[in-house]
Every structure is written in structure tokens, then in C-alpha cells.
Amino acid sequence: MTEFSGKVAIVTGGGTGIGLATARCLAEGGAAVVLCGNKEAPLAAAVDALAAEGRQVAHGVADIGRMADCRAVVELATARFGGLDILVNAAAILSSGTVETMAEESWDRVIGVNLGGVYRMAHLAVPEMRRRGGGAIVNVASVQGLACQTRVAAYAASKGGVLALTRAMALDHAADNIRVNAVCPGSIDTPMLRGAAEENKGEGTVEETIESWGAMHPIGRVGRPEEVAELIVFLAGPRAGFCTGGEYKVDGGLLAKIGVVLPE
């Protein structure tokens, strides 16, 4: 597949999970990809593996809660590959708590990374895309931005904000030929989900907890990062040329159901 030949992409959260799966799909489609994350080791391993396959890749270690770090990643993409056409905002953090129990520092950090990171990266990416005649931004939100569970106040607020920001960006930059969409994953087997399972497993195991969460989805399992990546890559490409301002669920039917279960 060469759908993305000649295109340059940045994927935040590119070292693991949905971000890594998306970076791989884009690179396999012919794009030059800059993987961004806050840990050197997984980024380097991912880039080494993709480079060994002949893909055009680079990586930048960055805290997307800091504008200077975000700027360095965008400058890496433009200096190494000549521009920027696609931005995938997949980086996120999770900190459990209610508005009563969360410390202000934890609240600010979650909002600053999950929502502020989308702003920072887009703030820097839009001018570069405009110079190239347009582009595509795909934001990884969450079903938690549409309906949520308990003790995820900051995370849910951040993901709801991402959905609102996606709509605003789509309207503001449609005239620049920049499309902006969001995906809303359900439970996906990522390091973040496994960390949450470790925190909430009680007397069970991580695998048992993930299996029980999967059973809550009508499809009967948690999703795979590659299943989310496929939709992200579609939205980033020309086949989705008339899609902007949308939010697309990848949730195994989770939000299609209500809590009441009728007897068989």
C-alpha cells in the first residue's frame, strides 16, 4: 500500500499501544513518520524495527505538556522530511480520582497532557500543513468523553474537551483544507488499560480483569490497538476526504447498549 507516499506524519504516543500501531500503519502506507513519546527506549525500539523494514521513520522524546518539546518534534519532522501533512494525537495519561480526591497537580497534569497536548501540537502543525496545501489531524479521544465510569473525572473531562476541540478545529481550518476528526476507543489492550487493570484487579489477576471488561462490550472482548489504528489511518487519508469534525466510536458496541438487561 502506498496511499501515503510523499506524506509526512507525526504520531504522539508513538512508542506503544494505539500510537505505535498507527505509526506502523502509516509507515507501511508509505508515509515518513516521526514517533513522539516521553520514553526513549520504546521509541527507539519501534523506530529500529520499522527502519529495518525500510520505512522512513524518526523519533523525538517529548513531554507534550511543554510547548518547547512539541516545537522540537514539529521541527524534527520538517527538517528531516520536509514538511508535515498528518498529525495523530494519541498520547494520553490516566490518573484516577474524583474532583474531591484528586490533587490539583494531578488534575492539571491530565488536562495539560490529554487536552493541552492536542492544542500544542495542532498549534504548531496547522501552519506547516497550510504551507503544504492542507492536511489531516486525528485526535484519539475516548468513549469516556461521551459517557464515563466513576473515578475518572480528569480523564473524562480531558477527552470530552478533545471532542469539543476537534469540532472547533475542523470549523476553523476547513478553509485551509485541513480536516480534523476524532476517534473514541472503548477498552483497548494497551499499556494504559493494563495499568488500570492492575490498579483495579482486587483479588483477581490483570488478565481476569481485562477479560471481565471485555465482556461488558457486546462484541465480548477488548479491542486491539491495530483495530483503532485502521480507522485513524482511514481518517488521515484521502478516502476520508469529505469527513471532518466527526467523532467515530471504536468500542465493540459499548455505547450502543443500555444498562438494563432483559431476561432471555
Interacting residues of 264 by C-beta distance below 8 A, sequence separation 6+: none
Question: What gap in Å lies between CA 172 and CA 166, rounded to an integer?
Answer: 10
Measure Cα distances from 126 to 83, 112, 179 in Å. 11, 19, 10
User: Dihedral of the CA atoms 230, 158, 87, 172 (nearest 10)?
Assistant: 120
Residue 206 has which C-alpha cell? 490483570
Query: Is 119 a known active-site residue?
Result: no
Quickly tell me which residue has 466527526 as its cell: 246
Interacting residues of 153 by C-beta distance below 8 A, sequence separation 6+: 97, 98, 99, 102, 107
Catalytic residue among 155, 213, 234, 248: 155
Catalytic site positions = 155
